[in-house]
Every structure is written in structure tokens, then in C-alpha cells.
Structure 1
Amino acid sequence: MLGAQPAKAHSNLAGSSPKADSTVTAAPKQVTLTFGEVIRGNFSTVVVTGPDGVRYGDGKASAVDKTLSQPVKPLVAGKYTVAWRVVSADGHPIQGVFTFTADLPAAPSPSPTEPAPNVSEPAPSQSPAAATEPTDDGSSPLPWVIAGVAAVLALAGATLLARRRRTT
């Protein structure tokens, strides 16, 4: 006789745009993840990190049913890492990481027919503090993803404990 098959307990990543391990030739305006089941948007995060170590997320990710979208800032050419974490409708947190490559044309250089800048005007100055401040700490998104998963697990444990106390 055939044995019982285990039931699939929670959602899985069904697809993405850009696709995992793909190369895009036009910069997307957002990264979209599609899951096999409905996800809980209020517990979802997406971190898009560029080849320069800079995070390219532009605002908060939004979830609708099975889809999670993260708007992104204009991309530069290179390899991007997408780290994500969601909570399935059944309460199970799932996470993953994938990469894609942006093969984008170089920014166009100024046309030789454009007028030269007026050299008699002083160049805008930058404050000494702004010149020495780092723009990115170069940290990995992994600690944030792990911290998020730990928070979700703690919340799920507290919820289960509260439910058990109500039923007894």
C-alpha cells in the first residue's frame, strides 16, 4: 500500500522578476517575488544589495495575496543579491536569497555639442562633515533577515502560548 504523503505546510517561492540567476539588460523599477500561497505582508522584508554593497530598496515592500514587490532605486551594472523573508498564511516564516545580474549600458557621456559650463561661476562647495561621512556601512543584509526571523518566531511562540492558556 502507498504510505501517506506529508502535507505541504507553508508557501514557497514560485518565481521572481527578475528571475533568479538571470541577466537583465533593462533596469527594473522593482523586484517582485511570487509565492505558492498567500503571504502575510506585514511581516515581509526584501533587501536588494548591489555590486557596490549599497542597498537599492526604495521604500517599503508591499504584499498582495501571493506577490511581494520591492521598489528599487536606479540600478548600476553588476550582480545583485535579493534576500527575502515572509510569513506564510499559516504562520510559518520562510526566507531565501537569490542573485541576478544587471548588464546595463554605460551612462551616456555628454554630447560635444552641449555648451561648456561657465567657468566664472564658483563650483558648489561641500561641507567638511559631508565630505568625510561614509555613505554605506557595507554590512550584509543577513543579520537583519536573521533578526527578523527570530522576532517572528518569538511572536509565534507567544501567540501559541496565549492560545494554550485560553483553552485550558
Structure 2
Amino acid sequence: MNAFPRRAARVAARGIAVPTAVLAILAVAAPQAVAHTELDVSSPGAEATPAGLPPRVTLTFSDEMTQKYAKVAVTGPDGKSATDGEPDVQGKTVTLALETGSPAGRYTVGYRVVSADGHPVSGSYTFTVKATGGPSPSPRAEQPAGTPSSPAARAAQAGTADEESSGTTAFALVGGGALALFVAAVGAYVARRRRAGHGD
């Protein structure tokens, strides 16, 4: 009579032990899965093509970050760093200023940060900066046709005008002198003819 209750008790104990062990394993594994830190949002985003290099890179993670262990690097198409200063951490967001005068091309963002709970996360991605066109001249800045565009041009034009004026004056003087000589010669010829006529 006592053998059956004992056997039933052992079976029941085993049935309770197995689910308890499974629950214990899940309880240990669940916090590790929840604590996994990830990059949620980035700006510029991966494979983005902004027109001109933005003033900063912004990375937003799923957990709060620590300033001490935040490392972010941005490398330009020339292989040089395009960053300006150190990363700034505000809660879940890490911001890094960039050198806006950097050239167009493909940029690589690399990061390694540690959350406030001590969980590290690292990764990288790329984006491509498109070249921006130069500013078009405003209508006010345009020079009217025939107007010198620089002081040197205006001086050269003034010098040319002076030379032309001097040449015109010299030509007028030479021409006037020749005319006076011609008139004098004609007058002398007429006078001689008259005297010759009276002598006859």
C-alpha cells in the first residue's frame, strides 16, 4: 500500500524540478538579451548622400552612454580625420563635430561606446558627400558691358584714352603747321607774281 504513494511522490518531484530548472535558465538569459545595446538612429545615416559635409555626426543608441568610454571617428575620402573635437554624450545620444571644409566623397563612421550599464557596442558605416556648386553671381555684382572689372583695367583704359588724346593733339598741331606753311608759300608766290607784273 505504501509503495504506490512513494513512487507517485518521486514522479511529482521530478515533474516540478524540470520546469523549475528551465525557469531558472530563462531568468538568467532574459536580462542578457534585454541588456544588448544597439545603434538605433544615425545622422547622416548609412549610405546617405548629403550635399556637403554636415556640421556633425549624431548617433542615438538604445541605452544611455557614458562620456568616458565614447569613441567615434570619421575618416574622409583622403584618409584623413574629418572630426573637430571630441564626442559629446547626452543620455543616449553621442554627437561629434565635423570639419565642414572637408572634400566631397565617401566617409566612414566608426564607433565604440559603452552603455551606463557597462555593455559595449561597436560598429561602422559609410555615407557619401556630394559636391556643392559655387554660388551664382548676384545681378548687382555683374559689371555693365564696357565697364572695367578691376582698378587695373580702369587704369589701363585711362592710359589708353590719354594716349589717344595725346595722339589726336599732336596730329592737330602737325596738320595746322603744315597748313600754315602752305598758306604762307601761296602768299609769297602771289606777291612775287604781282611784283613781276608791275616791273613789266
Q: Write the distance in 2 (CA, Å) between the matches of 1:50 and 1:92.
A: 29
Q: How many residues align?
A: 117
1:36 is aligned, of 54, 62, 65, to 62
CA RMSD, 1 decimal: 2.8
Q: Distance in 1 between matches of 2:107 and 2:151?
A: 36
Once the two structures are TM-superposed, the CA of residue 108 in structure 1 deviates from its matched residue by 5.9
Cα gap change, 1:112 to 1:47, in 2 (>3 Å): farther
Please say if 1:101 is aligned against 2:128.
Answer: yes
Offset at 1:9? 2.0
1:79 aligns with 106
TM-score normalised by the chain length of structure 2: 0.51
The sequence identity of aligned pairs, in percent, is 41
C-alpha change, 1:15 and 1:116, in structure 2 (3 Å) is: farther
Q: Aligned match of 1:9 in 10, 20, 35? A: 35
Report how far residue 8 of structure 1 moved.
2.1
Deviations 1:76-116 (A, max 9, x none): 21000001110011112211111001012155699997759
Aligned residue in 1 for 2:158: none
Aligned counterpart, 1:70? 96
Partner of 1:88: 115
**Higher strand proportion, which one?**
1
Measure, in 2, the Cα distance between the counterparts of 1:103 and 1:44: 28
Which amino acid letter does the alignment assign opposite residue 79 of structure 2?
Answer: G
More helix by share: 2
Aligned partner letter, 2:90: V
Point out 4+ residue stretches in structure 1 off by more than 4 angstroms: 106-117
Measured at CA, do residues 108 and 64 of structure 1 come closer, stay the same or move farther in structure 2, by a change above 3 Å?
A: same
Q: How does 1:14-163 map to 2 (within 5 A)?
A: 14-74=40-100, 75-107=102-134, 115=150
The secondary structure found in structure 2 opposite 1:23 is coil
